[in-house]
Chains A and B, each alone.
Chain A
Amino acid sequence: MDTSNPALFVNAELLRMHVGRRVRAVIQVLRSDGGGSVVGNSTDGQQLVIKGHPPGPLSTFVEVIGIADSNQSIRADIWNNFGDVLDTASYNVVCQLANGDYKHLFI
């Protein structure tokens, strides 16, 4: 397991704090523009743009891991399909806890 490049759990709100860093987020796919970007809702309900080429068909919920290049976009190099059902509320809380009280458990 390659631990050299840990990715932080983020939602839209936390993304802005980690611009330029490696992050991971789960989004609900709204639409994919053919030209290498996907627009989706973050787990706290804001729109994010994911740049890159997904390796295959995407399910409703996708986890993307990559570099945050702006407040609202991520340049993804890993795409994981999370299926069509996900409890976004729980995931959102995890994001908040992972960046807050339990930061020391993660990075």
Chain B
Amino acid sequence: MSETDLTKDAIAILSGGDAAAESDIRPVLQVADIRLVETQNQTTTERYRILLSDGSFTQQGMLATQQNDLVRSEKLQKGSIVKLTQFVCNLIQNRMIVIIVNLDVLVEKCDPIGEPKPYPTKNDWSTSSTARQATPGQPVNQPASGGRIPSSFDDGSAPHVPPSSSHGSSFPSSKNSRSYNTANASPKYPKTEYGSGVLRAHVKNPPKLSYHQPPHQTVANRGPIAPRIIPIAALNPFQGGWTIKARVTSKGDLRRYTNTKGDGKVFSFDLLDFDGGEIKATCFNVAADKFHPQIELGRVYMISNGSVQRAKENFNHLPNEHEIFLNSFSTMQPCFEDDKFIPHQQFHFLPISDVEKLARDSNVDIIGVVSSISPSSSILRKNGTETQKRTLQLKDMSGRSVELTLWSNFCNAEGQTLEKMLDSGLFPVLAVKSGRVNDFNGKSVGTTFNSQFFIEPDFPEAQRLKTWFDGEGKCTPAIPISWGMSKTVSQIKDEKLGTLDKPDWITVSATLTYIKMDNFCYTACPIMIGDHRPCNKKVTDNGNGKWRCEKCDVILDKCDYRYILQMQIQDHTGTTWVTAFQESGEEIMGISAKDLCTLKHDEQDDVKFAERLRSVLFTKFLFKLKVKEEIFNDEACVKSTVVKAEKVNFQTQSRYLLDSMAKFKDEDLGTLPPPKSEILFQHLGRTLGNLQHQIAQAL
């Protein structure tokens, strides 16, 4: 049986420290003896010491604790033929110890083969150590390097060979083993990143050892060690020597930058592993050049030897508080097997209605139906460069819609695809990964370098969306979340809205009950400042039919009329004052400020004026309000400005209210309907009543 032929000269190779030969072999050896190590510390897991033989020589070894069961179950016993599949050889003092991480038991019971003798210890230690030193401190980054010892070794690890004499005569070398505790005179340990000093210390004081990693790393490049793979979720800055196996889910571009230190290159990519952990990896300069061409999107790689650090808030778009930085010592090895077990992409979709609650700059994955898209437009950025931008509306089953802003390349590539689809009457499903929440004018989502689009994806969520859309979704108008959270009038005061640094954007569904008509508009300067905005400052009557603008310092024949409406709005919880300016004023009044002014002053048509007013009062609107506390003469006052006003769509409102009621009902499991839903119900009743009233009016 060739299988159980012991590998010739295996022990020599293992002991000889021939790096090149060792990395290839998976020696078949016989277990000459197994002994339980007596540890001083009774609480640690038992360790088995194994004497390995290749028929000619024997070599000491330690069995990794995860294989202990093999011994206990007697699968592995004295005489067993084994094949070492994962092992490290460590030189401690003069001794070579083989740490067996993984092995296959080929034959359980076997008579001893040959008459092996212990392999002579290397007394010309210095030569071999220099040899090792010469191997260019093989950076401990090869995936198969000996550096990776499973944590099961952390009870003191292999070289911590008990000095006790219980090992007696079966280990003829025990005489030497006792010398473990004496200080090792040999000076020439190969220097590695971790420093030989540590090793020395370790050897001097074996019982105190708690630091397991470094000593093993002194012997670099040992054996075909398959690295211990840890889940991405377990990565932390305090643990070195890790390896992860993950799929590249997104690959960034190689970007150049200039900072105080000069020019640089940077490149990032995202990784996803079997357990669903995600992390961002970044390389700079040399590493960027090295890895950028190597990495393929969608492939699985084993990565090790990077540094793990806390991720910076602003640049972190994945749900992981750490990120990886790869350097020139890091390694990436493509994996071909195991490919299908690691997912290709991972999403944490939020319903659009929940996006409203997210803070600015947070990352979000969303999926929805594209209901509309705007054409591309050029935007001048702060740094002077021009970029393309376009927006689209995404809506989903929560009854809300969100504005998604596409920047630069998204604008052109995906944006055009989507535009074409919409032009041909399709309403595609779009999934966005790592969009960024913005709260400039109410909440919206925008793309970043790290975002990814999936048009008409094949997910179950996409299927559900399509079904919903084809059914009722198409016709149900969705309330944009940019309108802010839906609040009642009393909540403005109760929740102290607007009192923090930033203004609060909210939506209030209320009835317009009063408008101050004394000064509903003012005379404004029409001169354009820049390209977009007119001056709008109040102009004063010069006395001779002309107007003067203080700001622009001109005298004008004609001026603009702009609304400044002080109004009271009321809902079932209370009443409050709001101010509406030009745009929203027009939306509300349904007539331009100029025309209304003409009506009142020039034509003195009181009847028509009153009619107009009456038609507007007591109409229910959906007001988008900006609420902010302002300080006026040492007094703080919360002011609400109407940014947008829309006539209430009763169907949408009713649905929304019914939904809210259902939600409250679910929360409250008691038998009595909670008060909140009662109020909502009354609200609903009123909404329906309004509808009736409106219809009656129309007829």
Residues in chain A within 8 A of chain B (CB atoms)? 59, 63, 80-83, 87, 90-91, 93-94, 97, 101-102, 105
Contacts and interface: CB of A to CB of B under 8 A. Distances in A.
B654 A87 contact: yes
A93 B659 CA distance: 11
Given A105-B682, A105-B685, 7 more contacts: A81-B695, A87-B654, A87-B655, A94-B684, A94-B685, A102-B678, A105-B678
B685 A80 contact: no
Contacts of B695: 81-83
B670 to A, nearest CB: 11
Given A90-B688, A94-B688, A102-B681, A83 B654 contact: no
Contacts of A93: 658
A-B residue pairs, 8 tightest by C-beta:
A90-B654, A87-B651, A83-B695, A101-B673, A102-B681, A93-B658, A82-B695, A81-B699
Contact of A90 (B651, B673, B692, B699): B651
Interface in B630-689: 650-651, 654-655, 658, 661, 665, 673, 678, 681-682, 684-685, 688
Contacts of A82: 692, 695
10 contacts: A59-B699, A63-B692, A81-B696, A81-B699, A82-B695, A90-B651, A90-B654, A97-B681, A102-B678, A105-B678
A90 B658 contact: yes
A24 B510 CA distance: 28
Nearest to B658: A93
B681 A80 contact: no
A31 B688 CA distance: 25
A81 B691 CA distance: 12
Contacts of B651: 87, 90
Nearest to A89: B655
Contacts of A97: 661, 681
B529 interface: no
B134 interface: no
Contacts of A101: 665, 673
A80 B696 contact: yes
A80 B692 CA distance: 9
Contact of B673 (A63, A80, A94, A102): A102
B500 interface: no
A22 B688 CA distance: 20
A105 B681 contact: yes
A94 B688 CA distance: 9
Nearest to B694: A83
A63 B689 CA distance: 12
Contacts of A102: 673, 678, 681
Contacts of B684: 90, 94
A94 B651 CA distance: 13
B185 interface: no
Contacts of B413: none
A97 B658 CA distance: 10
B27 to A, nearest CB: 75
A23 B673 CA distance: 24
Nearest to A93: B658
A87 B650 CA distance: 9
A90 B678 contact: no
A10 to B, nearest CB: 15
B380 interface: no
Contacts of B698: 83
A63 B693 CA distance: 13
Contacts of B681: 97, 102, 105
Nearest to A82: B695
A64 B134 CA distance: 100
Contacts of A87: 650-651, 654-655
A97 B688 CA distance: 14
Nearest to B662: A93
A80 B689 CA distance: 12
Contacts of B682: 105
Contacts of B650: 87
A67 B489 CA distance: 40
Contacts of B665: 101
A90 B685 contact: no
B346 to A, nearest CB: 36
A59 B658 CA distance: 26
Interface centre among A63, A91, A94 (most CB of B within 10 A): A94
Nearest to B696: A80
Contacts of B654: 87, 90
A81 B685 CA distance: 18
Contacts of A59: 699
A93 B655 CA distance: 10
A62 to B, nearest CB: 11
A6 to B, nearest CB: 13
Contacts of A94: 684-685, 688
A93 B696 CA distance: 22
B427 to A, nearest CB: 22
A55 B399 CA distance: 39
B653 to A, nearest CB: 9
A39 to B, nearest CB: 22
Nearest to B472: A89
A96 B130 CA distance: 89
Contacts of A80: 692, 696
Interface centre among B658, B665, B695 (most CB of A within 10 A): B695
A45 to B, nearest CB: 16
Nearest to A87: B651
A97 B661 CA distance: 10
A15 B698 CA distance: 30
B655 A90 contact: yes
B698 to A, nearest CB: 7
A80 B695 CA distance: 10
A87 B654 CA distance: 9
Interface centre among A90, A102, A105 (most CB of B within 10 A): A90
A46 to B, nearest CB: 21
Contacts of B673: 101-102
B694 to A, nearest CB: 9
